[in-house]
Homo-oligomer: A and B are copies of this chain.
Amino acid sequence: MNLTGIIGYTITPFTENNNVDFKQLETVIDTLLDAKVDAIAALGSAGEAAYLSEDEWESVASHTVSYVAGKVPVVVGIAELTTAQAVKRAKYAHKIGADVVMLSPFSYYKLNEDEIFLHYKSVSDATPLPIMIYNNPATCGVDMSPQFMLKMVDGIENARWIKESTGDIQRMHKIYKLSKGSVPFFNGCNHMALEALNAGAVGWCTIAPCLIGDQPKQLFDAIKNSNNEKARELFYQQYEFLEFIVQSGLAAAVKAGMSAQGIQVGHPRKPLLPLTPLKQEKLKSMLIDLGCFS
């Protein structure tokens, strides 16, 4: 599988009774497909995976795979505290026909490199699914250097891609340079998309298409087509919006935005709170400026 382009992330809609709303999950998936994403990822941080029960997690994963029905590849995010749980989830993802596991070393204790390596290796040994190594110290509590992630790509059979979300463009330069361009990496920091793609990222993992349609895809295409002026223009159009959703919390921001657009997806789970009215207004005005609010 040649994973590239825009990987669109789903949020997990809830009903008023705080149950997963599978019907609206389908709407979210349709929204992403309409936005021309090249793959769909479920149960990332924006999908509130950490706040679901194991049953809910499994249902969301399987429902996503079956509803996407092979139109594009499906990535399933796994961020479990214990290796045993991570392995269990990966096996489930494989059983239901997911295409890729996105694995991050969620930690309570800071993990050392030996511990992280074995964690990834155990998941790799458990299924044939290819693995995207996901580095996001802001949510996962542990940071992995480019050197170490490349070592994992080299030494762990199914580790194939890197998703870099530290916000430090030098990490991407290091990945590209140290691997002589041979290890594909994705941008995981929304408001860094322009430089990441210029630096050689093969794609961009983002929740943004849930709200602004194919504008991320247009930006991706402009850079691939060497249309620098258009790329810069598209990027700065989206810039404040991209920074806003990151800083406001992706789940809360995207849920507020979709509801404002008329797709009721409920609130994030506590302790997460909905956007304040002030922030809702700010988001709405940005969506209007981007032509995504009628």
User: Which residues of chain A have a CB within 8 Å of any CB of chain B?
Assistant: 45, 50-51, 79, 81-84, 105-112, 114-116, 118-119, 122, 138-141, 167, 169-170, 173, 176-177, 181, 191-192, 194-195, 198-200, 223, 226-229, 231-232, 236, 239-240, 249-251, 269-273
Residue of A109, A115, A272 with most partner-chain B CB within 10 A = A109
B84, B108, B195, B269: the one within 8 Å of A270 (CB) = B84
State which of B115, B116, B200, B271 has its C-beta within 8 Å of the C-beta of A232: B200
Q: Which residue of B lies closest to A111 (CB)?
A: B271
Complex CA gap A131/B227 in Å reads 33
In angstroms, Cα B202 to Cα A155, docked, is 43
Interchain residue pairs with CB less than 8 A apart (21): A45-B109, A82-B270, A83-B269, A105-B271, A106-B108, A107-B271, A108-B139, A108-B140, A110-B138, A110-B249, A111-B271, A111-B272, A118-B270, A118-B273, A139-B141, A141-B141, A177-B240, A194-B199, A195-B195, A199-B232, A226-B227
Q: Given A50-B81, A81-B51, A177-B239, is A139 in contact with B270 using a C-beta cutoff of 8 Å?
A: no
Q: Which residues of B contact A105 (CB under 8 A)?
A: 271
What 9 pairs between A and B have smallest CB-CB spacing?
Answer: A195-B195, A50-B108, A83-B270, A119-B271, A226-B228, A115-B271, A83-B271, A198-B198, A226-B226
Give Cα A273 to B116, complex, Å.
Answer: 10
Within 8 Å CB of A107, what residues of B? 271
CB distance from A247 to the nearest CB of B (A): 9
* Residues B177 and A192 in contact, CB atoms below 8 Å apart: no
In the assembled complex, the CB of A98 is this many whole angstroms from the nearest CB of chain B, namely 21
Contact between chains at A169 and B195 (CB < 8 Å): yes
Q: How far is the CB of A131 from chain B (nearest CB, A)?
A: 15
Asked if B109 and A198 make an inter-chain contact with CB atoms under 8 angstroms apart, the answer reads no
Tell me which of B119, B169, B170, B198 contacts A228 (CB under 8 A).
B198
A112 to chain B: which residues have CB within 8 Å?
Answer: 273
Instruction: Please determine whether A114 and B194 come into contact, CB atoms closer than 8 angstroms.
Output: no
Residues of B within 8 A of A114 (CB): 273
CA distance A78 to B111 in the complex (A): 21
Q: Across the interface, do B139 and A109 meet the contact criterion of CB distance under 8 Å?
A: yes
Contact present for B236 and A228 (CB under 8 Å)? no
| Contact call B272/A115, Cβ cutoff below 8 A | yes
Kindly report which residue of chain B lies nearest to residue A137, judged by CB atoms: B141
Having A51-B81, A176-B236, one finds 9 other A-B pairs with CB under 8 Å, namely A51-B82, A51-B108, A82-B271, A83-B271, A109-B139, A111-B271, A139-B141, A169-B169, A226-B229
- Chain B residue numbers with a CB within 8 Å of A236 are 173, 176-177, 181
